[in-house]
Structure 1
């Protein structure tokens, strides 16, 4: 009788457990459908929130894999990688999880690891054209990197800057665009003619582009890693965030806020290129204004001013399509000299990404960074370019897979140590174009509205005056642009899979 009672009790417990599990699975499936719809609507943050809710209800490989691709679309590559690995823990044979993990590895520049995953997919699906294409494209990247490393040995590397003779290039009689002056210099007249010329989708002559890039290189070489900016009393100063190749929105900034001049100075805080289809027009414009107003127009390096990002997200393809492979190599060399940080009136610290994994970093430490190189995966330079703020105190692993996430207490200690008022950074889409984080001490500004023609966000810029550094924000919507889809020059076959 006792045995029978225990047996019945065990069966009831198992039955209730199965019933509960079945109910949770059904609930999670309903939430997943809502999340899938949010993803299709390009509302990736809502999709992530719903996938997370479903995972908490009843986790499985599909939910982690789906959240992984949503993280990929938000460019949170670190979280995407974690979720892809988690999906494979639940189901080691779930093929989509290998796609997700490979995409995350690709986005993080870990091409050998990505190749291993694509190789597995191709082995499981030997006749799948998509699997074959992704494997072959990734293999090309790995082969190219190995070749470039083999020929770039120490000081024996041949820099493109030493091979370009722009002055010997001829201007064809049929060229009808703007001209540099007789000494090959940028003038106000040149810039006033350049903007409307580029706006009509015409290309500046390659001789002039080469001359502009070479002159910019000379200026950038003379600058420190951290540039000090002085804004006099009553004078306005404007800070812009990412523009990401959205040339027509860049022109709109100048329409709203006035063209750059000695009386109207600007700082553009990195990520000038990639994503948008008009990165060449953006960088030529920004370089032109830097040459025209070298002491009143400032440029900082972003994480997308690097060869790996440019090869994946479109700038390399665009430069090669509009000009030459050598010009892209020259841009890569020039980007290495962009300053990493600016300090305005010794009170506002401006960097592209964020703060550091250590507490004792001073402005002197930042000045001492050897910036003339491609960014590594760790260290002060990587953290300046890649880190993001978080709402909770302390530090944690980056959602992007590079840099860190840092809390309000980290910001407060850095500001106090360096006698600063607040930080301005970019690097991160915000729906209004800006965000006042960490008790208004860590401000994000993002200047690419309707990012990639899909996100529906506004862009923004910040203005201050020398005697009033309280930030003032101007938000604006995207403006129409010619038919040219974002990422059209990117290495699409190596990027993200769909749902």
Structure 2
């Protein structure tokens, strides 16, 4: 007998349909169906948990956390690995640092988590599973991780005293003598020494701290002179660039002198298509020259299109190099007569993020007015650590480039205005009315994105169908309605908002009474979403948007395999198995693709084959054992 007010049988039918939509990667449709099931039976925790996981697939972390919390509220026993992961994923403030501190075999729900939140959840798990020895072990691991992070915070050098990696590199003098300017200052060493003492006092008490601090400070003073010049392994500064001379046998693209020309860029693109690498010397030159140009630009860039000319705006590319080449095939290479604006999220997730960013930067060096670049939410340290770019750069180039790209990303402008009428930004609008273009110009953007404020909202916000403002489905920024868009345009004498940041089935979507367009340029996102890509061409003077859609380019198997092998170990690999101790077979996915893509190429590898793959590529990786849900990402759905 069905409970009063509930339609349990119909809810189950909807849940089954939602599960099928989820397995077909139609996550938005599955969310809609789960919602209908919840409306008919809101006391079934499985519906909330499943909808939470679907939100997570779409990177709607805020909504995912809310649904996961509701699932536990309805039925505390619903705590599964998936629900825990969603809860722990939610507060990602410390996420990037967790990856560096957890270098051991961990269970899945201790991977991507804020340690404070992990601590609370482990207490809950321990209470609900008092006989589970894993609960106690994981709680101790979290406590240890918290202490380690506090120690790292205490000894970190203040931002004002940090030396720019870019300023320590001079590609003109590659192979030169060590430079004393690469040594840390006495002030920085003193600050570190004081911080060490404070941290140890906090962690182990006064008596032990005196002994430990004396040893640590002594080591710091002895090793300080060597610190910046490369003890971290693979760091190349002015004093460590002897190995970057261009070898006689190098046959790739070469820059003659200081000028990047079209012939060089074309040769580089051809090399990239054939899985060849650009020499580090030229990569340094491209990135450093781009940095100088970006630093000189304002946070809000005004673009003027002469009458009779056109201008192209592209959305997220996400490391899909072959699709970027397809855009150029369809619309022409960037030039002064054929300018582009790439609206953020150049990197992460795709297998060829380095090739994408070097291509865009090379065109910027070739002709600054041929290409404009805006910052996206993925041009940040925390996102690059999680979603693959950091590991890809480290494996293809060096640790120095990881820091160098992080610095350059902080120089990217936040928004553009075309002919004083079209406002182009990666994310969206603001939590308050009255924001003027002058307020955006005044933003000090040379930093990692904050967790709130105008800069955060420019990078993270999304439009919503309802009026007004609402909480962000991502957990960062906000959602804003058509009335918010209309007021912003009126107050700034603008006609249109163009933004990116969201996958759209057709590659674009026109919303808010035609006043807002979302454009997304990564077709078949993460090799599984099945969406089209799009770009927008504006013709001056009327600036009527002409939207061009295109399908994904299928890379050759060799290209896919090479790209995936380079990408997989960039952060962490996940092994789903029923056996914790060296199982016979595993299910591997890249960490940056945990919920969206690239699982199939390594799905059937045996443990030994998988290990050999990583060892052969000389990559470090961590395997995470998931003991409960067997094989397959979708298993665990009721």
- Normalising by the residue count of structure 1, what TM-score does the alignment of the two structures yield? 0.90
Distance 1:120 1:170 in 2: 55
Relative to structure 1, the CA distance from residue 21 to residue 164 in structure 2 (aligned partners, 3 Å threshold; closer, same or farther) is farther
Equivalence map 1:412-491=2 (5 Å): 412-481=486-555, 482-483=559-560, 484-485=563-564, 488=568, 489-491=570-572
Aligned to 1:404: 478
> Given that residues 6 and 40 in structure 2 are in contact (C-alpha distance below 8 angstroms), is that contact kept between their aligned partners in structure 1?
no
**CA spacing shift, 1:71–1:423, aligned 2, 3 Å:** same
- 1:267-416 map, 5 Å: 267-416=341-490
Rounded Cα–Cα distance in structure 2 between residues aligned with 1:205 and 1:122: 50
How far off is 1:94 after superposition? Answer: 2.6
Distance 1:35 1:480 in 2: 29
SS in 2 for 1:80: helix
TM-fit CA distance, 1:108: 8.9
Q: 1:139 to 1:62 in 2, by over 3 A?
A: farther
- The answer to which of 117-126 and 239-248 deviates more is 117-126
- The aligned residue for residue 251 of structure 2 is 176
Q: Between Structure 1 and Structure 2, how many residues are aligned?
A: 480
RMSD across aligned positions (CA): 2.7
Measured against aligned partners, the alpha-carbon deviations of 1:382-433 in whole angstroms (never above 9, x if no partner) come to 0000011111111111111111111111111100100001010000111111
The answer on whether the counterparts of 1:233 and 1:467 sit within 8 Å (CA) in structure 2 is: yes
1:52 equivalenced with 2:70 (yes/no)? no
Deviation of residue 126 (structure 1)?
Answer: 5.2
CA change 1:325–1:118 in 2 (3 A) is farther
Is contact 1:244-1:274 (8 Å) kept?
A: yes
State the secondary structure of the residue aligned to 2:345: coil
Between the aligned partners of 1:251 and 1:418, the Cα distance in structure 2 is: 36
Give the corresponding residue for 1:39. 22
Which stretch shows the higher mean deviation, 30-39 or 115-124?
115-124
Q: CA deviation at 1:325?
A: 1.4
Task: Report the Cα offset of residue 139 of structure 1.
Answer: 7.7
What residue number does 1:4 align with?
Answer: none
Residue aligning to 1:116: 119
Deviation at 1:306, TM superposition (A): 0.5
SS of the residue 1:468 aligns to = coil
Alignment of 1:197-276 (within 5 A): 197-276=271-350
Match of 1:153 among 113, 134, 158: 158
CA gap of 1:80–1:166, structure 2 versus 1, over 3 A, is same
Q: Distance in 1 between matches of 2:5 and 2:56?
A: 30
Judge conservation of contact 1:151–1:157 (CA < 8 Å) in 2. no
Deviations 1:300-329 (Å, cap 9, x if unpaired)?
A: 000000111100001011111111111111
Distance change in 2, residues 1:428/1:139 (3 Å): farther
Instruction: Tell me the SS of whatever aligns to 1:302.
Output: coil
- Structure 1 residues 207 and 139: alpha-carbon distance in aligned structure 2, compared to 1, 3 A threshold: farther
The answer to whether the 8 A contact 1:81-1:105 is kept is no
- Give the unaligned 5+ runs of structure 2: 96-112, 175-243, 575-590, 596-632
Q: 1:280 to 1:165 in 2, by over 3 A?
A: same
Asked whether the 8 Å contact 1:77–1:107 carries over to 2, the reply is: no
Equivalent residue in structure 2 for 1:81, among 43, 65, 71? 65
1:30 to 13, 26, 39: 13
Give distance in 2, aligned partners of 1:345 and 1:146: 50
Classify the secondary structure of the residue corresponding to 2:522. Answer: coil
The question of whether the paired residues in 2 share the 8 Å contact of 1:105 and 1:113 is answered with no
- CA distance 1:295–1:492, change in 2 (3 Å): same
Partner of 1:370, secondary structure, is coil
d(CA) in 1 for partners of 2:13, 2:139: 32
CA deviation string 1:113-153 (max 9, x = no partner) = 45336645885495779x98999799879956862673131
Contact 1:356 1:384 (C-alpha < 8 Å) held by counterparts: yes
Q: What's the offset of the Cα at 1:159? A: 2.6
Greater shift, 66-75 or 169-178, is seen at 169-178
2:46 aligns with 62
Match of 1:102 among 62, 69, 88: 88
- Cα 1:246–1:335 shift into 2, 3 Å: same
Q: Per-residue deviation at 1:350? A: 0.4
Q: TM-score, normalised by structure 2?
A: 0.71
Query: Residue 245 of structure 1 contacts residue 274 of structure 1 at CA under 8 Å; is this kept in 2?
Result: yes
Give SS of 2:502's match.
coil
Q: Deviations over 1:214-258 (max 9, x none)?
A: 111111110000000000001111000000000000000000000
Task: Identify if the C-alpha distance between structure 1 residues 309 and 138 changes in structure 2 by more than 3 Å, giving closer, same or farther.
Answer: farther
Cα distance, 1:39 vs. partner?
1.1
Q: How far is 1:49 from its partner? A: 1.1
Give the structure, 1 or 2, with the largest relative contact order (CA under 8 Å, sep 6 or more). 1
